[in-house]
Structure 1
Amino acid sequence: MKRASLSTKQSTVTVFASPTSWIESDAVTQCHQVAALDGMLHVAAMPDLHPGKGAPIGAAMASRVLYPFLVGSDIGCGIAVFPIKLKRAVPARLAGRFPDLDSPPESDDPAWSVVHSGIPGGHVDGLGTLGRGNHFVELAKIDTVFEPGHAERLGLDAGDLVLIVHSGSRGLGERILRAHTEVHGAGPAPDPDAYLAMHDDAVRWGSLNRRLMAARVAHALGTEPTEPIVDECHNLVEIRDGVYLHRKGVAPGDGRDVLIAGTRGTHSYLVAAHAGPDANYSVAHGAGRKMSRADALRRGKVKHTVEQLRNTSVGSLVVCGDRQLLFEEAPTAYKRIEQVIGDLVDHNLATPVATTLPLVTYKTPDVGYAEAKRGRRSRRT
């Protein structure tokens, strides 16, 4: 086990990863560039660290100064886990029943029943939609349970089904960041309170968006929505002990239950997080990219067919009508989730509670699955 800790102008950078973990030098360089910013105190990088646009992804950054660009445009992005009850979970039968999450729900959609109060920021555009990139909605089952007592407290047991929803604040967060950068670039927020008021709306919006999508999917699969047992945001600013703690692709790790996403072709891990101040009270949020999207697209077209990417090695199905996205988000474009979890355990940041195994992972609407569903209906009639 190795923890690298270096000082930059009185601030420190710590990378919580083993020597065998895949950590790009460009990502570490970005961490040190952030550490050199005025007011920065400590940068804690997780084992899923990888380069981002101007700032690292997979890092928690503590500063006396608030920097909106360190959080980015997808403020409030996070992962929620919802229990779901289905009589039979046959991926081939369920894949074509997922709703079109590129389009907002109709006004009479029963999923709206989960919206109990006003919409944060009054921002309706995009509510109930997923977005692109690494966002997904996944039907999964609880596989291995490592901590039965903890899993039982969450109401989970091996074989149970869950919906995992990974999404953020869509156009709202982008609008907030753009309003700042058009005037101040990568500089600090001139009025932190004003920024945080908008930021908090985006965080609440992202959480509501995950609930609304989970409800849409539940109804489409013929069951009732449930409340999330986990819902942790990994793009946000938290004020802690008078310091601005920026999280970009890292989840709160101070006594929280966190779903750390693998890939659509691997397990994900539900963990009990117990990270302390040296890790900026944070844990990893996923496997982390090891290839850029351009590299994943180029290499993937040589190694994989579209059909191979729609049918994973664990027996699950991927609903994604965007072929380029299929290659960009291929499991091989990501680090090994087992290595990421192992590093967190070795550094005493988290304890695995259970794994989830994907059954159907939804990315974008796929005409092929919809046609197959219509074909099954016509044969029955």
Structure 2
Amino acid sequence: MSQQQSASVTVFASDGSWIESDAVTQCHQVAALDGMLHVAALPDLHPGKGAPIGAAMASTVLYPHLVGSDIGCGIAVFPVGLKRAVPERLAGRFPDLDRPVDRDDPAWAHVDADIPAGHTESLGTVGRGNHFVELARVRGVLDAGHAARLGLAAGDLVLIVHSGSRGLGERILRSHTEVHGAGPAADPADYLARHDEAVRWGSLNRRLMAARVALALGATPTAPIVDECHNLVEVRDGAYLHRKGAARGDGRDVLVAGTRGTPSYLVAAHAGPDANYSVAHGAGRKMSRADALVRGRAKHTVEELRRTPVGSLVVCGDRQLLFEEAPTAYKRIEQVIGDLVGHGLATSVAETVPVVTYKTADLGSAPRRDRRDHRRGRGRS
């Protein structure tokens, strides 16, 4: 019996980009899976659990583990009609996005009330890890035509919401792995049906959070001008196109997230088949969480991490998370964007800078036991 030849692997990064060798190794491991056609690695590539993050992987076989547990995770951008944005005044007005939204919350009036899969647990919450909700300012317009189409101008304020399907996606993946491990989906149609519900749930969750924050800041909630998922699988050209930490790049607008202390970039994506019609979703980690924690504690104080180099404030009651998600734990977003543009995958439209970034509730002087209970109730995404 002849052995299947590995699929092609293309890394869309320049010589000046730092790409961890373990991540490239993971790409080649994925390329060797049965049915794999092509693996496109984007400039934010870094190692993940069982599969690289920052990659788009096309195959004739559907592999749920290539999407992961946070199905439907994505980034949405919402215009905010505030005249002034003083970080010190607004940081304390953010609602507690670790607690699920109540059915009588006024945010519901601004979203579609249909709840995919009937999954009400954790609705309206941000989750942990690299998820965030950020009030940001458009610092510069880089393509006037594209920006005008989106209704954006320099100085405008926007809400950027990065979150996913919370426990729903995890439940879907677990039901597969408990039986099939990292193997293919036994019933692709069934997996896709549940996957699609998780994708819709993630979008609803982002809209709910944006409405909650806008109302808390005294603004009227708006519809998103961008809402792109970067953990999903789609059927395209007769194949399954898996994306893990890669945004759809076929003529869409995508917010490529920097860090809480650096700019983010809105791009017009025009990636072709070589890149599996995908673009980067963020800066991409250059340190593991453990390394970021050790190095960060040796270099920074908590208060230094709450006030960023761009003058913004960080709302985060979890000190460990502050260090794990420090800007220095990530690659340079300017390099990632430069690689996307240099490889013809995207056009830069606008640059945003943080004003207030919410990671997790600041519990202040709450008793230690209450803090532990609160953290247990948040769950992981």
TM-score by length of structure 1 reads 0.94
SS in 2 for 1:61: strand
Give the counterpart of 1:242 among 218, 238, 245.
Answer: 238
C-alpha separation in 2, matches of 1:116 and 1:285: 26
Aligned residue number for residue 255 of structure 2 = 259
Tell me how far apart the structure 2 counterparts of residues 369 and 281 of structure 1 sit (CA, whole Å): 48
Q: Is the 8 A contact 2:165 2:205 kept in 1?
A: yes
Cα 1:34–1:10, aligned 2, differ >3 Å: closer, same or farther? closer
Please give the alpha-carbon distance, in whole angstroms, between the structure 2 residues aligned to 1:240 and 1:96: 45
2:88 and 2:313 in contact (8 A); partners too = yes
Kept in 2, the 8 Å contact 1:96–1:369? The answer is no
- Equivalent position SS for 1:137: strand
Instruction: Tell me which moved more, 127-136 or 83-92.
Output: 83-92
Match of 2:104 in 1: 108
Equivalent residues in 2 for 1:265-304 (5 A)?
Answer: 265-304=261-300
User: Contact 2:10–2:39 (CA<8 Å) still a contact in 1?
Assistant: yes
Give 1:337's aligned residue. Answer: 333
What is aligned with 1:314?
Answer: 310
Q: Please say if residues 253 and 267 of structure 2, whose CA atoms lie closer than 8 Å, have aligned partners that are also in contact.
A: yes
* Aligned 8 A contact 1:319 1:369 in 2: no
Contact 2:13/2:42 (8 A) holds in 1: yes
2:12 corresponds to which residue? Answer: 16
Aligned AA for 2:279?
V
Indicate conservation of the 8 Å contact 1:260/1:285, yes or no. yes
Residue in 2 aligned with 1:377?
A: none
Aligned match for 2:200, one of 193, 199, 204: 204
In the TM superposition, what is the alpha-carbon distance from 1:117 to its structure 2 partner?
3.8
In the alignment, is residue 158 of structure 1 matched against residue 159 of structure 2? no
Q: Could you tell me how far 1:115 is from its partner in structure 2?
A: 3.4
Does the alignment pair 1:351 with 2:347?
A: yes
**Please, which moves more after superposition, 108-117 or 241-250?**
108-117
Q: Which moved more, 1:257-266 or 1:104-113?
A: 104-113
**CA drift at 1:87:** 2.7
Residues 194 and 316 of structure 1: CA distance in aligned 2, closer, same or farther (over 3 Å): same
The total of aligned residue pairs comes to 363
Give the conservation status (yes or no) of the 8 Å contact 1:84–1:225.
yes
Residue of structure 2 in register with 1:215 after alignment: 211
In the other structure, the counterpart of 1:376 is: none
Query: Residues of 1 paired with 2:144 and 2:40: CA distance?
Result: 31
Q: TM-score, normalised by structure 2?
A: 0.94
2:323 to 317, 323, 327: 327
**Residue of structure 2 in register with 1:191 after alignment:** 187
Structure 1 residue ranges without an equivalent (≥5): 1-7, 371-381
> What percent of counterpart residues are identical?
82
| 2:6–2:33 contact (8 Å) kept in structure 1 | no
- 2:94 and 2:64 mapped to 1: Cα distance? 35
Match of residue 177, structure 1, among 173, 176, 186 = 173
- Encode CA deviations 1:127-175: one digit per residue, 9 max, x unaligned: 1000000000000010111111110110000000000000000000000
SS at match of 2:285: coil
CA distance in structure 2 between the aligned counterparts of 1:245 and 1:228, rounded to whole angstroms: 25
Mapping for residues 366-377 of structure 1, pairs under 5 Å? 366-368=362-364
- CA-atom RMSD in angstroms: 1.1
Give the aligned residue type for 1:343.
Answer: D
Counterparts of 2:50 and 2:6, CA distance in 1: 22
What amino acid maps onto 2:32 in structure 1? A
CA shift for structure 1 position 108: 1.9
**Quick one: which of 313, 335, 358 aligns to 1:362?**
358
Does residue 110 of structure 2 align to residue 98 of structure 1?
no
Paired letter, 1:29: T
Q: Conserved in 2, the CA contact under 8 Å of 1:230 and 1:258? A: yes
Q: CA deviation at 1:368?
A: 4.2
Corresponding residue number in structure 1 for 2:66 = 70
